[in-house]
Chains A and B, each alone.
Chain A
């Protein structure tokens, strides 16, 4: 059974940093691209970032480019999102999602339950 478990969310002040993690199990992690997708309270879904199976291809939404960094550790079956210079508009539930293929250009066939990030002073 595929499982994606996010962690690392919490309350953080504007301008500060936070690192999210996603622990994956139930599939061959290094055979698939992975993504972060967020959902602000009461709002729709927004793709944040994606990374290919070997970290060779990475993409970011314009809203986070230059502030967020996605990475993965295939030996640990883990995905990460380093979030710097956080803003109030980054407040959201952050989902880890598995891509259907090697590269971060597909649809999301499995999702975690999300970790909540709240940016507020």
Chain B
């Protein structure tokens, strides 16, 4: 089973600042099969990024994903008020076991 470790646990930033979220895998994620989700309180998760760097439909270009192998990053170039939420990474290269990271909360400083 691939274990995903997200850091930091909490990121305290101000609107307009840049956010950099990390997701590290315990072993290589094949073909960059890594996705990112955003979850706001009381809501279901929403797909942001798949294939490590492809944006899902309707996701603004201020959000971007990068990385390969065991190290992946979600970057929000300029935080908007609606970006304050919890973010999860998920690997799907090692099936049938699909795993999530523990999450990073982006909060208003």
A contact residues vs B (CB 8 Å cutoff): 35, 44-47, 50, 57-62, 95, 100, 103-114
Contacts and interface: CB of A to CB of B under 8 A. Distances in A.
Contacts of B100: 44-47
Contact of A109 (B33, B39, B47, B88): B47
22 contacts: A44-B102, A44-B103, A45-B37, A45-B39, A45-B88, A45-B100, A47-B100, A50-B98, A57-B96, A61-B97, A95-B44, A95-B45, A100-B50, A104-B95, A105-B92, A105-B95, A105-B96, A105-B98, A108-B47, A111-B45, A112-B44, A114-B44
A102 to B, nearest CB: 12
Given A45-B45, A47-B98, A105-B92, 19 more contacts: A45-B88, A45-B90, A47-B90, A47-B97, A59-B95, A59-B96, A59-B98, A62-B97, A95-B45, A104-B95, A106-B92, A107-B47, A108-B47, A109-B47, A109-B50, A109-B56, A111-B45, A111-B46, A113-B44
Most buried by B among A62, A105, A114: A105
Contacts, number: 64
Most buried by A among B1, B44, B46: B44
Interface of B: 1, 33, 35, 37, 39, 44-47, 50, 56, 88, 90, 92, 95-103
Nearest to A52: B96
Nearest to B1: A62
A44 to B, nearest CB: 5
A62 B99 CA distance: 12
Nearest to B91: A107
A45 B98 CA distance: 11
Contacts of A113: 44
B96 A50 contact: yes
B35 A107 contact: yes
A101 B69 CA distance: 23
A35 B50 CA distance: 17
A96 B102 CA distance: 20
Nearest to B95: A105
A12 B39 CA distance: 27
